[in-house]
Chains A and B, each alone.
Chain A
Amino acid sequence: MKRIFIVSLLSLFYFIPKSSAFCGFYVAKAGSELFNNRSQVVFVRDGNRSVITMSNDYQGDVSEFAMVVPVPTVLSREEIRIAKQGLFDKLDHYSGPRLVEYYDHNPCEPQILYEVAATMEGSNRKFRSTKTLERDKEDYQVTVEATYAVGEYDILILSAKESDGLKRWLTDNGYKIPAKAERVLEPYIKSNMKFFVVKVNTKVMKMQGFQNLRPLQISFESDRFMLPIRLGMANSKGTQDMIVYTLTRNGRVESSNYRTVQIPSNRDIPTFIKGGKFEQFYVDLFDKAYRDAGKNAVFTEYAWDVSPNYGGVKCDPCVGPPPIVSDLLDAGVWWIDERSYSQVFFTRLHVRYSEEKFPEDLFFIQTSDKERFQGRYVMRHAATGDLSCDEGKKYVQELEMRRGKELKELAALTDWNVAKYTRYRQDGSGWIDEKLEMDKSDSPGKTGKGAAPGMLLLLGGIFLFLFLNYIRDLRQIANGNR
C-alpha cells in the first residue's frame, strides 16, 4: 500500500506524463461558463503589437446587441477579423480547473491498473446586455473615422472631442448608454482613445446561417498592454467575471497594477465532489479565494508552454486537447508557422472586478516565467474488496485519517459546512446530515502552506543574526567605556 501511495503523491508534485505510473485517473472540468456575468478575451501580445479577440456569447435578440470598446488607434479593415466560433471553447476546455481521480490499490490484493478519462460539457451561458445601436449622425464633435462591414458585424470607429458630445451622439443613434458611462468616457477621450462600436447586421447573419455571434478580433500597435475594464463597469453595480487567455512569446503574464495570485491547486478533496458538485466546488473555491485576496486580485488559473514544437506534456492531465498551430493562428499569434521553432506561452487569468475594487484599467506585463501551473484537485478513491489482512486494517485506519484531512481541506478551500458530512470518514459517502450545525473545530483556517516552517526558520536565522550583532555592539560599547 505504502508504495502505491508514494507513487500517487509523486505524480502530484512532479509532472509525470499520462502513463500507468499511477493507478488510473479520471478528469472533469469546471469551465468558465459557470460564472454569471462573465466575458472572455484572448489577448495575444508581443512587442508593441496586440491582438484581442472578444467572445460575444450574447444570448438575447442579436438586433439588440451592441458593444463599445475603447481602442488606442483607428483600426484599418485588415486589423479587424472574425475568429472561429470554437476558439474560446477550445481554450476554455484546455485550461479550465481540473479534477483528477486516483484509485487506491487494495493492499490485500495484487495490483490492477485502471484508466478512465472523460470530460463534462458545460451549459447555460449568460451575458449581460451591453448597449444598443441604430443609425444617423449630426454635429456632436464626434468624427466617424471609419465604417466597416465585417461578417455579421457593422463596425464604426469614432473619435470624439468631449464626452458629452459622444454620449449624445451614441444616445441619438440609438445606443442605450448607461447613466454612469459619461464620466468614464471622458478619461478615454482625453487619453486619445478611439471608440470601436459594434452592432449586428441581422440580414447578413441570416444569410450566413449562423446561430450565434462569432468572436470578433482586432489588432493594433500600442504601448499599452491593457484591457479597458472601466467602461464595462458603467453597466452594473455588481461584479463581473472575465477570463483572459493570453498568448505571449516569453512567459507567463501577470497584472502590473493589481496583485496576481495563483488559485489554490493540487489539493486533496473528498471523493463525493463528483459530477455537478465539482463545478459548485470550484465556483465556491474561486469565491473564497477572491474574498481572501481582498476582492482585488487577479487569479492565475493556468500557465503552460504551448509552443507547437514544445517537447513536454501540454497539460497533466488534459481536460481538453491543447491548442494546435491552427488554433494559435486563429487566436492571432502572428509569429508562428507550421515549421518554425517559435515560442508561445499560454496564461489563463480569471478576474472578478467591481467598480469599487478595480478603480484602474487592468494593465499586464509579460514575465520570463515559464513555470507550469494549473488548477488541479485530486480525489483518491478507497480500495475495494476484502481488507481484512494486517496491511488492510492499517490502510483502513489511514484512510479515515486521510478523509478527515480531506474534509478540513474542503472547508478551508470553499467555506462549506463539512461537519454535515458525518459519514464520509467511515464509508466515503457524501450523505449529509442537514440538522447538524457548523462545528467550530472544523471551521476553515488558512489553507496549508508547505513552506511555512522553512520560512519561519529563515526568519529565525535573521533574528539570530540581529541578536548576535546586537550583543557584539553592546560589548563594543562596554569595551569603549572601559
Chain B
Amino acid sequence: MQLKLITQNVFRLLKGLTDPRYFQILFLSSFLAFGVFSLGWSVQLQNYLLIITTCLTVQALAIYYLDLPLHSLRSALITSLGLCLLFKAGEPAYFILAGLLAIGSKFVLRFRNKHIFNPANFGVVAPILLTGNTWISPGQWGSTPLLLFFFGGAGLMILFRISRLETGLTFLITYAILWFSRDVIYLGWEPTVTLHKLTNGSLLLFSFFMITDPMTIPNNKKVRIIWSACIAILTFWVVSTQYIQSAALWILFLGAPIVPLLDLLFPAKKYQWSVPENTSNSISENLKTQLA
C-alpha cells in the first residue's frame, strides 16, 4: 500500500521533468563548469552573466509583449549557455550584442511560424560578420575520447527524448566516414589522426547539441537525414580544402535559410516542447482562468 503511494508520488515528481530542456540546461551548464574548472578556461564570469541576463531579458520582453508561454525562458537559457560555451570576445559590449542577436533573431527572422536560425549559432556567427572583433575557439575542448563519452552520453539522452537521434548521428557518421576515407585510406595517416579530429569537443558539441535543435532543422525526418548529411559533407569539404576548423558553425548558419523551403516542400509536424499541458497556455489565459 505504502509502496504504491511512494511509486505514485515518485511518478508524479518525475512527470514534472517531461520537458527535455531541463536536461539540456543541466548538461550545458555542467559542460561550462567542466571548461572552467577542469580545462582552465580563463574565466569570464561577468561576460557569462551578461550573456545570460541579456538573453533572459529579451525573452522576458518577448513573453510580455508577444504573449508567449513563460516556459520559453528555458529555451533562452539554453541559448545563453550555448553562447557562453562558444562565443569569445574581448569587450563586454560584444557579449550583450551576442545575446541580443541570438534571442532577437528568433522573433525577427521568422518564416511560417518558425524561426530561421539556430539562436546560439546566429549569436556566435553574426557578431563575427558584423564586427570582426569576436571569435570562436574550435580547439578549446581539445580532443580526447573521454569527450565522446561525456558529450555523447549526455547528447544521446537528449536526442532520444526529442527524437532527433538520426540527425546527430547522421552528421557524425557521415563526417567520420569522409575523414577516415581521406586521412587513413587516401593519405595514409594513422587512424589516430581521424580519431583526433572526431573527438574534438567543439565538433561533438555541435553534432549533439546544435545541429539537432528541433526548432531550426527540417520537420520531416527523411529530409532531416539528408540535410544533416549535406552539412557534414560541406563541412568536410571546407575543413579539408580551406582549413577553417570552425566550418560546421558557418555551414549551419548559411544553410539555415534553406530549411523553411524544405519544410514547405516536405511538410511535417513542427516540433513542440513537451510541457505539462496547462503550462502551454499563455500567462494571460492562465490569469483569465485564475480570475474566473
Contacts and interface: CB of A to CB of B under 8 A. Distances in A.
Interface of A: 163, 183, 186-187, 190-191, 223-226, 250-251, 254-262, 293-294, 296-298, 359-360, 363, 365, 367-371, 449-452, 454-455, 458-459, 462-463, 465-466, 469-474, 476-477, 479-480
B279 A451 contact: no
A81 to B, nearest CB: 26
Nearest to A367: B135
A415 to B, nearest CB: 17
Nearest to A470: B16
17 contacts: A187-B189, A190-B188, A223-B243, A257-B200, A296-B143, A359-B190, A359-B192, A449-B36, A452-B37, A462-B81, A465-B25, A472-B279, A473-B18, A474-B16, A477-B15, A477-B276, A480-B277
Contacts of A190: 186-188
Interface in B277-292: 277-279
A255 B138 CA distance: 8
Given A225-B243, A451-B36, A466-B25, A476 B278 contact: yes
Interface in B176-228: 183, 186-190, 192-193, 195-197, 200
Contact of B36 (A183, A363, A455, A470): A455
A310 to B, nearest CB: 16
Contact of A258 (B89, B139, B243, B275): B139
B187 A256 contact: no
A259 B139 contact: yes
Nearest to A222: B243
Given A187-B189, A474-B276, A477-B16, 10 more contacts: A190-B188, A226-B243, A259-B39, A455-B37, A459-B32, A466-B22, A469-B74, A471-B16, A473-B16, A477-B15
B12 A458 contact: no
Residue among B15, B26, B132, B135 with the most chain A CB within 10 A? B135
B190 to A, nearest CB: 7
Contacts of A294: 142, 144
A262 B40 CA distance: 8
A371 B90 contact: yes
Contact of A477 (B12, B22, B89, B90): B12
Given A259-B39, A465-B77, A473-B275, A223 B241 contact: yes
Interface stretch (B41-49, B103-111, B148-156, B251-259): B41-49
Interface string B229-251: 00000000000011101100000
Contacts of A470: 16-17, 22
A254 B137 contact: yes
Interface centre among A369, A370, A470, A480 (most CB of B within 10 A): A369
A455 B43 contact: yes
Contacts of B42: 262
A294 B196 CA distance: 14
A451 B15 CA distance: 36
A223 B247 CA distance: 14
B133 interface: yes
Contact of B132 (A163, A368, A450, A454): A368
A452 B41 CA distance: 12
A365 B13 CA distance: 48
Nearest to A364: B139
Given A449-B37, A477-B12, A459 B243 contact: no
A448 to B, nearest CB: 12
A223 B239 CA distance: 11
B88 interface: yes
Interface residues on B, range: 35 or more
Contacts of A261: 39-40
B140 interface: yes
A367 B88 CA distance: 9
Contacts of B141: 259
B276 A223 contact: no
Given A368-B134, A469-B74, A458 B45 contact: yes
A226 B200 CA distance: 18
A296 B15 CA distance: 44
A257 B138 contact: yes
Contact of A256 (B73, B89, B134, B139): B139
A256 B138 contact: yes
Given A187-B187, A223-B241, A462 B196 contact: no
Contact of A369 (B13, B40, B135): B135
A165 to B, nearest CB: 15
Contacts of A369: 88, 90, 135
A462 B77 contact: yes
A348 B235 CA distance: 30
Contacts of A455: 33, 36-37, 43, 45
B245 A186 contact: no
B29 interface: yes
Contact of B90 (A360, A368, A454, A473): A368
Contacts of A463: 29
Contact of B49 (A255, A293, A458): A458
Contacts of B183: 187
B142 A224 contact: no
A183 B191 CA distance: 13
A186 to B, nearest CB: 4
A367 B142 CA distance: 17
Interface centre among B25, B90, B142, by most chain A C-beta atoms within 10 angstroms, is B142
A360 B196 CA distance: 7
Interface string B71-115: 101100100010000001110000000000000000000000000
B19 interface: yes
Contact of B276 (A183, A454, A465, A480): A480
A480 B286 CA distance: 12
A47 to B, nearest CB: 13
A359 B196 contact: yes
A257 B16 contact: no
A470 B23 CA distance: 12
**Which of A187, A256, A450, A472 is packed against the most chain B CB atoms within 10 Å?**
A256
